[in-house]
Structure 1
Amino acid sequence: MNNKRWNLIVTILVFLFIFAIRIPHINNSPCEQGDFWRQSDTESIARNFLEDKFNIFYPQFNYDGKKPNYVQLEFQITTFLIALLYKVFGYHYYLARLVPITFFMGSSIYLYLIVKRYYGNPVAWYAIIAYAIMPINIYYTRAIMPESAALFFFIGAFYYFTKWYDNEKLSTLFISAIFTCLSISQKTPTIFIGLAMIFLLIKKYRFRFLLKWELWIFALISLLPNIIYIQWSRSIAEFDYVTNIGLLHIVPKSLKAFLDIESYKFAGGEIAAAISPGLIVPIIAGLIDSKWTKDYPIIFWTAAMLLEVIAVVAVIKLKYYFIFTTPIAAIWAGKNLGKLGNGRRIIFSVLMGLSVLAIWNYKGCKSFFVEKDNILKQAEVIRMYTEQDDLVVIGTVEPTLLNQSRRSGWRANIKYYKEIPTGAEKEIHYLVEKGAKYFSPLGGYIYGDDGSYRKYLDDNFEKLGEGDYFIYKLR
């Protein structure tokens, strides 16, 4: 078999493998142990597009209050695509999961092209398999969340920028600008890719790059639509829990994070868990063995994302934000494994070794795929006793019960909104006046309750349901 056909066959098999390991549990509900709150929110936005307002600029939650309940979030590419699939094929969870899976496959293609360009095969094969089998990617790149879309645009932005860096074709630069814009629109921390781009520009042009008009157009395309969208979504938002979350919770603490040793300990531990212990050695070895003259684009990318880890992820402490370190980690792992040789037997052995590691990492993620049966059962009870337009109060701080039961309403006893009085009697009276008809605890649980809230409900309202799965009729 000639080398060209061999390379094509191996490449196809590698991508089929990457896709195949994302098929198990593809029809799971959003109520998985891993980030069920975020997944159920995302899926509910897609449903609300279809059922309430089919407009990508008007995402809405099912809480806190009656609809419409528009919210300031990322630009809703993933949810809108899910809504389109729901519209054509009906409500099926596997359709919702196919959207992030498809985006991840696209991101793998861009990563493959980057690595192949700098290091060739088999390094590119090793890198994209390492990328695909990292525990954080095994789970989150098929979760009903925007992370896969962000990865697709994020890696694509760097791919097109480095192409322009070499050939200086304006079309390539402006494609990179569009990808950069869309990347930021999905996850604001991906803006750190801009640092890697600036580092590259300084290396090539010194500070003369500031005189290049095309780069100012690049910045305008990358940033202005996002600024406009942020202001627009803020103007329509009726739900303020996530409004300006970056400015309020991240930026003020970022500078302090660089001086706090705990930030580095947290980041180190979480990165190790995200990429898996089995890949740490080749990643570190690849970094140590890096050569400035050949590896500087990847070194710049690495530096930019490590800054993002401390400035953003170590502050907000949402583990899935570590996902943006996985492409560069995969490149260093692949580069190191590539030193084992180019012989077909060696390539086959390394690919088999990575496959075994994939199985090991998959088993480590097993608990994340487990669905929360108590939420699913309670949601069934809510649907059984309520109509679709009935407003429901739930006893959990996470809104998954509302999302899964396809109802709107409030979360009880969270003491977040100033206009809602505290205390069971006052809060229930207020919510009933606002239209609430039912109250749903979860297995009798009510968030922050010392027993008095549950007692007030037991003493004053009728129960509907049996055993641990019941709701209160408020009127």
Structure 2
Amino acid sequence: MFRRRYGRTELKRNRGSAWRGFAPWALVAVCLIGLLLRLKGIDSPFVDFHGWRQGDTAAVARYFYEREFNLLRPQLPYYGAPPNYAELEFSLVPALTAGLYYIFGEAPWVARTVIILFSLWSLVSVYRIGAHFWGLWPGLVAALTMAVQPFYVYFSRSFQPDVPMLALSLAALADFLVWSREGSLSHARRGCIWLTLAVLVKPPAAIVYLPLSLWWWSAYRSRRSYSLAVGLAYLITPFAALLIYLLSIHGIAEHPFVSGIAASFTERLWQEGIPADWYGDVGRGIFFFVCTPVFVLPALLGLLRGLFFKERLWIVAWMAGLAGFFLLAGSHVLNNLQYYFLPAVPLAAILVGLSTERLTVGQRGLLRSATAASLALLVLVGGSFLVSASFQRLLPERWLRYQPWTYERWYQLDDKVLKVGRALEQITPAEALLVIAEESPRSLYYSRRFGWFIPPEECSAEYLAGVRAEGAGYLIWPYEKPPAHLGGLAGEWHPEGFWLFDLGKMF
């Protein structure tokens, strides 16, 4: 599996000369392209696509900044009065952001910059993985694919932990490969740290264990020094750290999100099996979000190239890990939370890089190799454009509804959420607990208040009486018509688009 077209000595010589000359500058150029694409909307508030998820991450960063900087005690603004601890993933991203808030102040661009930097790191790591197996050009093409892929570009400036998880996972894989090639224990230790942080930041990082296990087995059979110790460290350390973290917070957290979500996913899969629409949702997501669909043909060519050559074992293992994750998430989650497809993006980018390997391996000189790689990618991407131009006629109607691959609309802002939240910050007391009748806590986050959010159809008099007993002071109804099912309550209409009811006068 680790055999290469050239001998080890020649590969090292070629790799070293490339790094001293062209490769670093080419990688810098790729990262600059990626950076420029990710600057769009960098100062936008968290009311764009999946703003509720970004608001959760931003809320933890805010409370680290304003209340209690403790990575073992993340808080969320909803479900009651502070402190409102929640069993979330390890809050590395909110902690880094809160630290920068002390320097630059609390601003969306600060938070988004943290995610952008992680995403640029992931480009470097993808290059390192591709270059390890196939050389300079496949590595650069893989990095360039991730740099310009519109799905990844959007989420690379979306303030949530998914992209940092990927960056840490890919860095762990890249450092592990250096150890497997050179026996460098410093890289092995560093990779173990990255993998531990990746699993802590978001447990789906465990997907990479499948290809990693095959790479380790090859190194073990080659009698790589300390291979048993390295394997045990990579296996035990991340999950031991995750267990210790969850145990430290589980007893005080009011909301067991991590263990609760994992249990619900597992229970659903056990009870329901694989629903009929799961295959369609996975295919739709791979086509539109992972291949987007500009990279359909090069990714397919790279997959065929890999499956019929020596790389097939770890490519299939990586794909099996992704399939297991998609099964656990289920079709409903995949259809609504598109960022669950993000773990498939690096593998697709690597396959796109692999599609150029056969055309560049025999070329001598940077110019000829660059020309071959560029022409190959141009032809494949051009063919993909033709495929994507005809999908309106070829694909099922269910795949085409809402056209989620038109990423421009993902950057659009929900101004009403901002208006409601900021108005509530002005007109309600600082320590007031609010109840907002909406599907997400976005307005609650922008009001800078603690409280509750509840779907409007579930907002009953009994519910309001219960939260009033817990200290709720106001009900916010962000709709033009007041809640008729609550008996014609007397409230105050605000031009920002909501009714305000004083619960103290109601109960």
TM-score interval, normalised by the smaller of the two chains:
0.7 to 0.9
1:452 corresponds, among 485, 488, 496, to: 485
1:407-453 Cα shifts (integer Å, max 9, x gaps): 111124679xxxxxx7633322332232222111222479xx7x403
| Letter in structure 1 aligned against 2:321 | A
1:429 corresponds to which residue? Answer: 465
Structure 1 residues 121 and 397 mapped into 2: Cα distance closer, same or farther (>3 Å)?
same
Q: Which moved more, 1:16-25 or 1:315-324?
A: 315-324
Counterpart contact for 2:118–2:163, Cα < 8 Å: yes
Counterpart contact for 1:374–1:442, Cα < 8 Å: no
Counterpart contact for 1:75–1:185, Cα < 8 Å: yes
2:199 corresponds to which residue? Answer: 184
Structure 1 residues 73 and 23 mapped into 2: Cα distance closer, same or farther (>3 Å)?
same
Matches within 5 A, 1:87-102: 87-102=102-117
Counterpart contact for 1:257–1:263, Cα < 8 Å: no
Q: Distance in 1 between matches of 2:27 and 2:200?
A: 31
Matches within 5 A, 1:11-22: 11-22=27-38
1:441-469 Cα shifts (integer Å, max 9, x gaps): 222479xx7x403xx3xx33331523733
1:324 corresponds to which residue? Answer: 343
Q: Which moved more, 1:320-329 or 1:310-319?
A: 310-319
* Pair 1:219 & 2:238 matched: no
1:281 corresponds, among 270, 279, 297, to: 297
Please, which runs of 5 or more residues in structure 1 have no aligned partner? 416-421
1:127 corresponds to which residue? Answer: 142
2:253 corresponds, among 212, 216, 237, to: 237
Structure 1 residues 40 and 117 mapped into 2: Cα distance closer, same or farther (>3 Å)?
same
Q: Distance in 1 between matches of 2:303 and 2:470?
A: 59
| Letter in structure 1 aligned against 2:495 | E
* Pair 1:368 & 2:410 matched: yes
Q: Which moved more, 1:331-340 or 1:373-382?
A: 331-340
Q: Distance in 1 between matches of 2:121 and 2:272?
A: 33
Q: Distance in 2 between matches of 1:385 and 1:191?
A: 46
Q: Which moved more, 1:5-14 or 1:117-126?
A: 5-14
| Letter in structure 2 aligned against 1:178 | I
Q: Distance in 2 between matches of 1:467 and 1:83?
A: 30
Q: Distance in 2 between matches of 1:423 and 1:314?
A: 29
Counterpart contact for 2:134–2:354, Cα < 8 Å: yes
2:492 corresponds to which residue? Answer: 463
1:438 corresponds to which residue? Answer: 474
Q: How far off its partner does 1:213 sit? A: 4.1
Q: Distance in 2 between matches of 1:21 and 1:350?
A: 23
* Pair 1:194 & 2:213 matched: no
Identical-residue share of aligned pairs (%): 23
* Pair 1:306 & 2:323 matched: yes
Q: Distance in 1 between matches of 2:58 and 2:268?
A: 31
Q: Distance in 2 between matches of 1:145 and 1:311?
A: 20
Q: Which moved more, 1:69-78 or 1:298-307?
A: 298-307
Counterpart contact for 2:298–2:381, Cα < 8 Å: no
Matches within 5 A, 1:62-141: 62-141=77-156
Structure 1 residues 213 and 8 mapped into 2: Cα distance closer, same or farther (>3 Å)?
closer
Q: Which moved more, 1:366-375 or 1:265-274?
A: 265-274
Counterpart contact for 2:419–2:496, Cα < 8 Å: no
Q: Which moved more, 1:167-176 or 1:12-21?
A: 167-176
Q: Distance in 1 between matches of 2:101 and 2:228?
A: 45
2:432 corresponds to which residue? Answer: 390
Q: Distance in 2 between matches of 1:354 and 1:403?
A: 45
Structure 1 residues 445 and 391 mapped into 2: Cα distance closer, same or farther (>3 Å)?
farther
Q: Distance in 2 between matches of 1:465 and 1:270?
A: 41
Q: Distance in 2 between matches of 1:398 and 1:414?
A: 11
1:147 corresponds to which residue? Answer: 162
2:399 corresponds to which residue? Answer: none
| Letter in structure 1 aligned against 2:424 | I
Q: How far off its partner does 1:288 sit? A: 0.7
1:377 corresponds to which residue? Answer: 419
Q: Distance in 2 between matches of 1:400 and 1:442?
A: 12
| Letter in structure 1 aligned against 2:489 | N
Q: Distance in 1 between matches of 2:381 and 2:296?
A: 16
Indicate the SS of the match to 2:39: coil
TM-score (norm 1): 0.87
- Taking only aligned residues, the RMSD between alpha carbons, in angstroms, comes to 3.2
Q: How far off its partner does 1:123 sit? A: 1.6
Counterpart contact for 2:33–2:148, Cα < 8 Å: no
| Letter in structure 2 aligned against 1:74 | E
1:30 corresponds, among 24, 46, 54, to: 46
Q: Distance in 2 between matches of 1:116 and 1:186?
A: 27
Q: How far off its partner does 1:304 sit? A: 2.9
Counterpart contact for 1:374–1:443, Cα < 8 Å: no
Q: Distance in 2 between matches of 1:155 and 1:349?
A: 28
Counterpart contact for 2:274–2:327, Cα < 8 Å: no
Structure 1 residues 85 and 362 mapped into 2: Cα distance closer, same or farther (>3 Å)?
farther
TM-score (norm 2): 0.82
Please, which runs of 5 or more residues in structure 2 have no aligned partner? 1-16, 390-402
| Letter in structure 1 aligned against 2:213 | I
Indicate the SS of the match to 2:413: coil
Counterpart contact for 1:67–1:408, Cα < 8 Å: yes
1:418 corresponds to which residue? Answer: none
1:10-48 Cα shifts (integer Å, max 9, x gaps): 33221100111000100111111x111101111111111
Q: How far off its partner does 1:380 sit? A: 2.1
